[in-house]
A and B are shown apart, each in its own frame.
Chain A
């Protein structure tokens, strides 16, 4: 495209401005985590490591972190099994109702979180005896399935049927073919999906608010509950800063492991 010099400069300027819009808030949080001032005076009057040390010693933060990791691990494991099974079924078989099943899988993240949250909350509290750790895990696993499913089916579609047919022509059973041919080819897509599912579960707050049992705090819930307590502000800020720094890691991993990630959530 032949663009005038002015057009190029304008577009470059828009890009730079959007970059500032995206990164300044995140940078401010990270810098503030070293801010001496309790009220985040800006520019910071001085820098300190004290808040980081206090956050690491904070029992509430550590427990919340453990809960978040635990929930995300179990939910991801369940989603891995359910998502892979569905992906294999939907890519290798043509049958009536296939479209409805792919819609059903996407629904938990396509519908607003609050709708899912209220619906699950009602089910758990009125029929299944109330909210617990388990209800939280079930809710998270449900919206994680789609991530695994997307990754696994993209890989299976690209893989095609030739390898499977070749393997079975050579005498392997379906089970052998799955474990020796299909699964090894899917592995990196599944790992990428698992990283994304873990991240999704780790960050989730809306459905979590509605499905976590009393006294169970994930890290986002902990942040939310302490957000309005001024004396906790520096600790909350350290946790936020840590999460910003950590969020770069899964992106890097997911991009390395999966080549069919473009626009899907």
Chain B
């Protein structure tokens, strides 16, 4: 090599000869930050889930116990019901998002004029960047049972409750489903669909037997977002859920007084997510993320 390097013995020359040192130099700062300020607190939180709080002094008792998890799963306590409801909400949001996103993406990818396509896609995606809180707020004014928009114009509103939570969470996370599904549909070669028609299949048959199996990985990829984002939410529930409570609300309500229990619930949501990811990683959809 005929590189005119910095003089031997200078720091630059040392780095030139030691790629390991260069790598360490690059990663030292970001890794210190992420490990000390993020990973350590997260790991400690999971460890705390196995401790308890002394009910008299409020101090942490650092001895291993499964008490918190037993309390979550105890049928006489309200938490198991809350966990199942949270799961039901996350699943409903995902299903509704799929039902809306598939025809929407089909329209965008295969019917809309190519000239208009970028604009239409932007129209679908733009709300993704509007503030989360503002969108939930917008739905509060929509659904308000006393003189909200739906009530005054249609004379009907679901009011605040579980239905409202599913509607608003679907509203919030729908773009995360539309984007992968739309990209997935665009990647399906038109020749395959033409071949299906040539062989005599009608629209529905082509859709069911050719298009849908091909975009299934994209749908699964989108469901990771809609499912996990719904699972951890608590602010939407606070604002439009009425008396409804999800796991996130339990964490929020207990973390100041009983950190180990809050940590156990938080770990439970993460466990559910990991379980979901593990279940779908076998489908190969994760490479689509």
Contacts and interface: CB of A to CB of B under 8 A. Distances in A.
A38 to B, nearest CB: 11
Contacts of B204: 7
Contact of B266 (A24, A26, A114): A114
Interface residues of B, number: 97
B83 to A, nearest CB: 14
A174 B232 contact: no
Contact of B111 (A3, A83, A105, A173): A3
B131 interface: yes
Nearest to B178: A18
A107 B138 contact: no
Nearest to A12: B107
Contact of B107 (A15, A25, A206): A15
Nearest to A241: B134
Nearest to A228: B239
A179 interface: no
A246 B132 CA distance: 13
Contacts of B120: 15
Contacts of A24: 142, 149
B203 to A, nearest CB: 4
Contacts of A243: 130-131, 134
B179 A206 contact: no
Interface residues of A, number: 86
Contacts of A26: 127, 130, 135, 138
B4 interface: yes
Nearest to B167: A21
A119 B270 CA distance: 13
A88 B234 contact: no
Contact of B30 (A18, A145, A203, A220): A145
A118 B27 contact: no
Contacts of B134: 29, 223, 240, 243-244, 247
Interface stretch (B64-72, B73-81, B158-166, B255-263): B255-263
Interface string B222-239: 000100110111110001
B110 interface: yes
B108 interface: yes
Interface of B: 2-6, 12, 15-16, 19, 22-23, 26-27, 29-31, 33-35, 37-42, 44-45, 48, 100, 103-104, 106-108, 110-112, 120, 122-127, 129-135, 137-142, 147, 149, 152-153, 171, 174, 176, 179-180, 183, 190, 193-194, 197, 202-204, 206, 211, 225, 228-229, 231-235, 239, 248, 251-252, 255, 259, 262-263, 266, 269-270, 273, 289
17 contacts: A1-B197, A11-B111, A15-B120, A18-B100, A21-B100, A25-B142, A28-B149, A42-B147, A104-B34, A112-B228, A119-B41, A122-B259, A145-B30, A171-B3, A205-B132, A224-B133, A227-B239
Given A85-B30, A171-B3, 16 more contacts: A14-B103, A22-B127, A22-B174, A23-B127, A25-B171, A26-B127, A28-B141, A81-B29, A89-B26, A93-B26, A115-B251, A138-B37, A223-B133, A240-B134, A243-B131, A263-B179
